[in-house]
Amino acid sequence: MRIGLLEDDLNQIEQINLWLSETGDHLHSYETGSQFRAALNQQAFDLLILDWHLPDTTGLDELDWLRTEKGIEIPVIFITSRDNEESVVKALEHGADDYIVKPVNKNIALARIKALQRRHQISSSTEKTNNAANQETDQQLVIKPYKVDTLERRILLNDEAVKLTNKEYELATYLFTNAGCLISRETLMSYIWGTKADLNTRTVDTHISKIRSKLKINPANGWQLSSIYQRGYRLFPVVPE
C-alpha cells in the first residue's frame, strides 16, 4: 500500500516509516504543503496521513484542497497533537476518515490504518451502487459485477471471463485494486511496463481504451474510467444507468 504523509517532524516521519516498512507498506513523506500538493498532482496513493500544523499550511487546508478542489476521496487520517474535541469534530466534518492524537501507539495506529483501508474498499464499491460489498481474498478481488482472479490471471464480468492480453489484465487489475485513486500515466507506465522513458504515454491510453471496451466499464455496470486532463486516470463507482 502506498501511503502519503504530510508531517514536518523528522522523528515522527522516521517512526511511522519504520512501522509501515514492517508491514510491507511504502511511505512517501512531505514536510510542506507545496511538496504534498506537487506529489498528489503526479502520484497515486492508497491512504494519506496529515499533521495539523505545517510550516506553510495546515492539514485542514490540505484536506479541503484534496476533497473540494481535487475531488479525491482516498482515506485520510489525522495524526496530531491537537487533542481537543473541537479539532476532532472539525477534521471529521471536513472529510477526514479518522483522527489519532499524539503520542501515537504503534499497534493502534497500524490497526486503524488497516481497518480504514478495509472500510474504504467496501464503501467505495457500495456507496453509489446497490451491489453487495466487495470481497477480497488472496486469490480473488470481487468488485461487482467484476471479479479479478489473480490465480488464473483473468477478469470476469458477470461471472464470464473476458479475453485480455497480459498487459491489459495487469493494467485492469492495478486500476481495480486502486479504485477511487487518481493514477498518473507515468505511474502506470512504471508499474505495468517497468519503464519511465522508453514508452510513449499513448501506449497507456491505447490499453486503457481497450480494457474500457472489453470489460464494458461504463455507468451501466456501475463503474466509470475517466481520463483527467494532464494528470492520468481514475476508476470510480457511479450510479448504474
- Looking at residue 240, its pLDDT comes to 63
pLDDT, position 124 = 38
DSSP 160-172: EEE---HHHHHHH
DSSP-assigned letters across all residues of 30-76:
ESSHHHHHHHHTT---SEEEE-SB-SS-BHHHHHHIIIIIS-----E
Pick the more confident residue, 30 or 138. 30
Counting the structural domains of the chain, the total is 2
159 and 68: one domain? no
Q: Which of 11, 53, 57, 15 is nearest to 36 (CA)?
A: 57
Residues 69 and 110 in one domain: yes
* Mean pLDDT, all residues of the chain: 83
Asked if 142 and 83 sit in the same domain, the reply is no
Of 97, 126, 155, the domain-final residue:
126
What CATH number corresponds to the domain at position 217?
1.10.10.10
The predicted structure's pLDDT at residue 120 = 65
Write the pLDDT tens digit of every residue in 209-232: 999 999 999 989 988 898 887 778
Report pLDDT for 231: 78
The CATH number covering residue 20 comes to 3.40.50.2300
pLDDT digits (tens, 9 = 90+) for 82-105: 988 899 999 999 999 999 998 888
CA gap 241, 231 in Å, rounded: 27
Task: Work out the burial of residue 195: count CB atoms within 10 Å of its CB; fewer than 13 is exposed, 13-18 middle, 19 or more buried.
Answer: exposed
90 shares its domain with 145:
no
Q: Among 160, 185, 161, 163, which Cα is nearest to 175's?
A: 185
Closest CA to 180 of 238, 139, 219, 112: 238
Q: Is 127 helix (H, G, I), strand (E, B) or coil?
A: coil
Comparing 106 with 124, the larger pLDDT belongs to: 106
Q: How many CA atoms lie within 13 A of 17 on its CB side?
A: 13
pLDDT at position 134 over 80 = no
Last-in-domain residue among 107, 126, 145: 126
pLDDT at 30 over 60: yes
Residue 32: pLDDT above 70?
Answer: yes
Last residue of a domain, one of 65, 98, 126: 126
In terms of residue numbers, what domain contains 72?
A: 2-126
